[in-house]
Amino acid sequence: MDLSTLTQEIFSKLEQKWLCNGEDKKTRILSIDGGGTTGIVAGTALVHLEDQIRAKTGDSNSRIVDYFDVVAGTGVGALLAAMLAADDGNGRPLFTARDAVKFLIVKQSDLYKPVTVGVFRRKKRFSSKSIDNTLKDALRRDDGKPLTLKDTCKPLLIPCFDLKSSAPFVFSRADASGSPSYDFDLWKVCRAALATPSMFKPFNLSSVDGKTSCSAVDGGLVMNNPAAAAVTHVLHNKRDFPSVNGVEDLLVLSLGNGPLCNRSQFEARRNGDCSTASVVDIVLDGVAETIDQMLGNSFCWNRADYVRIQVIRSLLSLYFI
């Protein structure tokens, strides 16, 4: 499927029920998978969708988050989600979808700057200092104020896995707004989400008041597709979503980032051995597709309210312009 056809399919599915502001408006969730380092698949879809929204509404200032009530992301999808939802200080998004994707591509070498470690310097990892500085510079307002988790235009959900508690930890604006003990610098939240074990060491972070801490790795290992976490959050958050009683009150757009594991790579290995990085890819793909199947079943009586956009690997060669 080429990109123009993909855009038309997304927009045709969303336009009638999702982009209207009628009395029967449902709570709309945008979920962005982890996977890869550029997020190019989900990012490109978001750029074209935002362009279509502007063309349809005639408003050049329209943003993706204007049409969603909750944004969730894992891994590189978390960084995309955070950039789309970040507040510029005037209640408007700090980044357009195009700006966010351009940042991921232009800053690719800074986010993932290789370093070699180990006795024989054969183990490849990426520089923590480089990615830290890049995220700090991006996730601050024009006046230099660093953003925290509660500084977002719309509710934001970003999962990681906490090695201290051996359990998932979900950063949310709802929790951050309720207590400084659950408010974290936004760059640290994204850094935690990007700490894939095969690429970075675990990332230690604390809340703004220092009372809550975790040792984080990429939440994709347990929640690469964060759509189910977002649905659960909305269903149980009566303070922000009092009118939601069940999935019949939700609309979910879930964007995949393409499969990470390539079957041909394993078929080419005579002994069937898998590298550590390949095992991580398999886990991420498996988690994402399992969540997709679960949500598909949950929305079986109203399938049009759950849209999952995933692509074949051949689309991963597309480059953002």
Catalytic residues: 218
Q: How far is CA 217 from CA 5, 28, 130, 169, in A?
A: 36, 28, 17, 10
- DSSP-assigned states of every residue in 184-205: -BHHHHHHHHT--TTTS--EEE
Nearest CA-CA partner of 255 in 103, 18, 26, 30: 30
Compute, in degrees rounded to 10, the torsion defined by CA atoms 118, 217, 221, 95: -120
Angle at 318 between CA 317 and CA 321, to 5 degrees: 140
d(CA 292, CA 21) in angstroms, rounded, equals 27
Question: What are the E-state strand segments in the chain?
Answer: 27-32, 70-73, 114-117, 123-126, 156-162, 167-172, 203-206, 213-218, 250-255, 306-309
Cβ contacts of 235 within 8 Å, gap of 6 or more: 241, 244, 246, 247
User: Which phi-psi region, left, alpha or beta, contains residue 75 (left: φ > 0; alpha: ψ -120 to 50)?
Assistant: left
Side-chain half-sphere exposure of 77, counting CA atoms within 13 A: 34
